[in-house]
A and B are shown apart, each in its own frame.
Chain A
Amino acid sequence: MTDLPMPQSGAAPVPKSSLMVADTRTRRRNAAEKRFRLYGAGAIGVALIALVVLLTSIIGGGAGAFRQTYLSIPVALDAETLDPKGNRNPDEMSKVLTLSYGKVLDRAVDAAVGSSEIEITDLSEKDISSLVSKEASAQLRNRVLADPELVGQTVDVNVLVNGRIDGYFKGRVTMESAAADANTSPQQLMLADALKEQGMLVTRFNWNFITNPDASDQRPEAAGVGVAILGSFYMMLVVLLLAVPIGVAASIYLEEFAPKNRWTDVIEVNISNLAAVPSIVFGILGLAAFINFAGLPQSAPVVGGLVLTLMTLPTIIISTRAALKAVPPSIRDAALGVGASRMQSVFHHVLPLAMPGILTGTIIGLAQALGETAPLLLIGMVAFVREFPAAPPEGLFDPASALPVQVYNWTQRADPAFVERASGAIIVLLIFLFCMNLLAIFLRRRFERRW
């Protein structure tokens, strides 16, 4: 026996802890565990919510760019104004300025509004004439010059309406905002409503957004991404032709042939550092080396392509090397064993086997280059370009824009209609990127081989 005080009664001592009942410490630890798990799930939730909000805000804001309001009215193409000499010769007719077409169009709009028996108090002359876009008369002119026989006839035309009216049907412009806006008025919007009821104003899918070039500040309704798509395409062409061969060749050397010495160490460190250099620094390099030193033209796709090539090279090299590394050494040994040279073993056996991986990496590198903006700003791609570049190779030296730069350009304009255009251009860009990534995933699933 001990001297310790014994429990008074004969009941069994109450155990301090039990596996069945959690004590405070265990409960605290389990609560901490649960909290930690919740943080993790919360982090993923935040990331997913951010993604969803980002995409919905861009797509919601940009979907409007793909729909556009048109006014369809009959226009009497007055022969005396449009073809004063009366011989229907396009060369002589081209001396007639867009202004005259604007007057013809004005008369037609007046007539259409007059004949439709719309009664709106305080409707001014300016409200009626500014209903159609400033771009509409140029469109009409192009159509007539392409087909001079139209002169003298009355033709049905579909012309763009003013960006404010278009914005009214998309909910961007309201009666209240119109009252404060010098470019439109509530009366004009009422007129637009009335015309819409009569079926003269229609909102439909807007192919012109994809095919048109950029338009000036006052006519957002006519702006499109045609030149930008073509410019981006040209740049991708340059990147594909330069970055892929150079990148693959460099990777083959570094992975298969390079001796382990100081020089190759320098190259390796260099490539991994280049991959992390901010893209804008490549823009400075492009400006200093290609434009100031080499004298290449500004805003040319070839310069953009060269800059993007230098930028994507590290990405392509890193992924190509991973693909080459994944080919097992037994393939090389077998080729060498039957008498192939090292060069033959690489080019005849290793490279074809690594091809799917190389292609996947290349497409991802290209997708990265397609979305890159900052370096292109510095080599003058922000310039306002309305002419489509010519076919390559000369077209590579013509001024052009690029999709992401066009987006930036539109965000710098005053009219809020351009914000919708910018989001629309981003949708186009994202569709391209989506297709490229899909292709990369498909290639990886279809051809990737596990050793």
Chain B
Amino acid sequence: MPLSWALLASLLLAVAGYLIGRSRAFAVAGSDIRSLHSRPIYHGASVALMTLTPAIIVMIAASLLRMAKALSPEAVGLVGLLALAAGIAGLGWGITRIGAGYQARNVVERIVMGVLIFCSSIAILTTAGIVLSLIFETGHFFQKYNWLDFFLGTEWTPRFQGNSALGILPLLWGTLYISLIALLVAVPIGMFAAIYMSEYASKRVRGIAKPAIEVLAGIPTIVYGLFALITVGPMLRDYFAQPLGLGNSGSSVLTAGLVMGIMLIPFVSSLSDDIINAVPQSMRDGALGLGSTPSETIRQVVLPAALPGVVGAVLLAASRAIGETMIVVLGAGAAAKLGLNPFEAMTTITVKIVSQLTGDNDFAAPETLVAFALGLTLFVITLGLNIVALYIVRKYREQYE
């Protein structure tokens, strides 16, 4: 790879530049170092940065051109030489500028500031990348497939030979159904756990329960997925679904929902903990002083005061549940169905994104491109939930500060 060699060479050049710059600065200063505007290391650093910056800019520009197919692969070697030449030119220019009055520190700090700003805008670039790639490919998809059929279709049957029915409604239904079950499990348990830990638990109980719940938060979702697949799914099937005559499938809406609920417990409990602690102590003291029991204080004073925060937490948990992938891939099944039976296998948006985009992809077929439209839908839903939730939480925080 000639570019990596060029990068290495320019790094060496920069180190050399640093040493030269520093010793030149010492030489210029002579016996009295105070005559310099900046300390010698800044002179060294300025030469090094002036060497590195043009070389790296050339390399980045070349890589971008290469990605946009405007540059042939053969030209890469040439680009390496060009980058090196730019580096050497920068080195020369940097060395000539060294002098007693040269404000090396200011120059270095300005370049470093530029780097800091660039790094902080990477977050923006990421978002832009996500939005652009999703919109671009979704646009391709809607050229091949009617958008009304996509958003209002109740059938999901992708076929290899084309002529597929790609309606999002069954997937959306599965997603919402599973998320609803997950929230029904996670919200009460998480809230009660948080209330118990902040209002009732002794120090010892808290010392055990809190880290244990945090462990639950640190477990990767693939572990929950496997748990659903090998333990929860068969258990629900053997003890509930088959005796009740409701189904024979190990993977079901209830399996995925239960396990996802367990996954969300620590999330809900830590959010609720923050919210409950944000309610001022004086409100609690007032209620207790009037003779209410601790549970009455919580139910009638703390929770109503914390309600907006609780709503925000539930929305954030919902957005987590909707975007969760591995648990539903392993626990929910692959059949796109519009049904009410929770022991039946259903599927979600994320499962279908995975199944349409793994394996050999043909990026001209609507069966592949539909994954981008699903991704865009998912992104819009979760983003909407997050924005609303963050808005509510922020509004509520201001109230008591």
Interface set of A (CB-CB < 8 Å, partner B): 29-30, 32-33, 36-37, 39-44, 46-48, 50-51, 53-54, 57-58, 61, 245-247, 249-254, 257-258, 266-267, 269-274, 276-285, 287-289, 292-295, 310, 313-314, 317, 341, 343, 367, 370-374, 377-378, 380, 382, 393-394, 404, 407-408, 411, 419, 422-423, 426, 429-430, 433, 437
**In the assembly, what is the distance between CA of A183 and CA of B133, in Å?**
48
* A278/B126 in contact, CB under 8 A: no
Q: Which residues of chain B in 72-126 are interfacial with respect to chain A, using CB atoms and an 8 Å cutoff?
A: 105, 109, 112-113, 115-117, 119-124, 126
User: Which residues of chain A are near B209, meaning CB under 8 Å?
Assistant: 44, 47-48
* A437/B295 in contact, CB under 8 A: no
* B119/A250 in contact, CB under 8 A: yes
Known pairs A281-B375, A423-B226 / 8 extra A-B pairs, C-beta < 8 Å: A43-B189, A246-B122, A271-B123, A285-B126, A373-B326, A408-B225, A426-B223, A437-B218
- Verify if B363 is at the interface (C-beta below 8 Å from A): yes
Taking each of A245, A274, A278, which has the highest tally of chain B beta carbons within 10 Å of its own beta carbon? A278
Chain A residue with the shortest CB-CB distance to B131:
A285
- Contacting B378 at CB < 8 Å: which of A257, A278, A295? A278
**In the assembly, what is the distance between CA of A53 and CA of B218, in Å?**
16
Chain A residue with the shortest CB-CB distance to B292:
A29
- Contacting A411 at CB < 8 Å: which of B130, B134, B229? B229
Given contacts A40-B192, A51-B212, contact A285 B133 (CB under 8 A): yes
The 6 closest A-B pairs by CB, nearest first: A278-B323, A371-B220, A40-B196, A288-B133, A43-B192, A36-B295
Shortest Cβ distance from residue A275 to the other chain B in the assembled complex, whole angstroms: 9
* A378/B124 in contact, CB under 8 A: no
Chain A residue with the shortest CB-CB distance to B213:
A47
User: Which residues of chain B are near A433, meaning CB under 8 Å?
Assistant: 218-220
**In the assembly, what is the distance between CA of A271 and CA of B122, in Å?**
10
Shortest Cβ distance from residue A253 to the other chain B in the assembled complex, whole angstroms: 4
Question: Interface size bucket, B side?
Answer: 35 or more
- Verify if B141 is at the interface (C-beta below 8 Å from A): no
- Contacting A289 at CB < 8 Å: which of B63, B66, B119, B129? B129
**In the assembly, what is the distance between CA of A147 and CA of B205, in Å?**
61
Shortest Cβ distance from residue A129 to the other chain B in the assembled complex, whole angstroms: 32
- Contacting A341 at CB < 8 Å: which of B1, B109, B230? B109
Among B10-18, B152-160, B336-344, B349-357, the one that faces the other chain is B349-357
* A48/B354 in contact, CB under 8 A: no
- Contacting B197 at CB < 8 Å: which of A44, A426, A429? A44
The dominant DSSP class at the A interface is: helix
**In the assembly, what is the distance between CA of A285 and CA of B70, in Å?**
22
Given contacts A250-B123, A278-B350, contact A423 B230 (CB under 8 A): yes
Q: List 29 A-B contacts (CB under 8 A).
A: A32-B293, A32-B296, A33-B296, A36-B298, A36-B299, A40-B199, A43-B192, A51-B212, A51-B213, A250-B120, A267-B121, A270-B123, A273-B127, A274-B127, A276-B382, A277-B130, A278-B322, A285-B133, A288-B372, A371-B223, A373-B221, A377-B358, A404-B222, A407-B226, A408-B330, A422-B226, A429-B220, A430-B223, A433-B220
Shortest Cβ distance from residue B150 to the other chain A in the assembled complex, whole angstroms: 17
* B188/A43 in contact, CB under 8 A: yes
**In the assembly, what is the distance between CA of A158 and CA of B227, in Å?**
34
- Verify if B335 is at the interface (C-beta below 8 Å from A): no
User: Which residues of chain A are near B324, meaning CB under 8 Å?
Assistant: 278
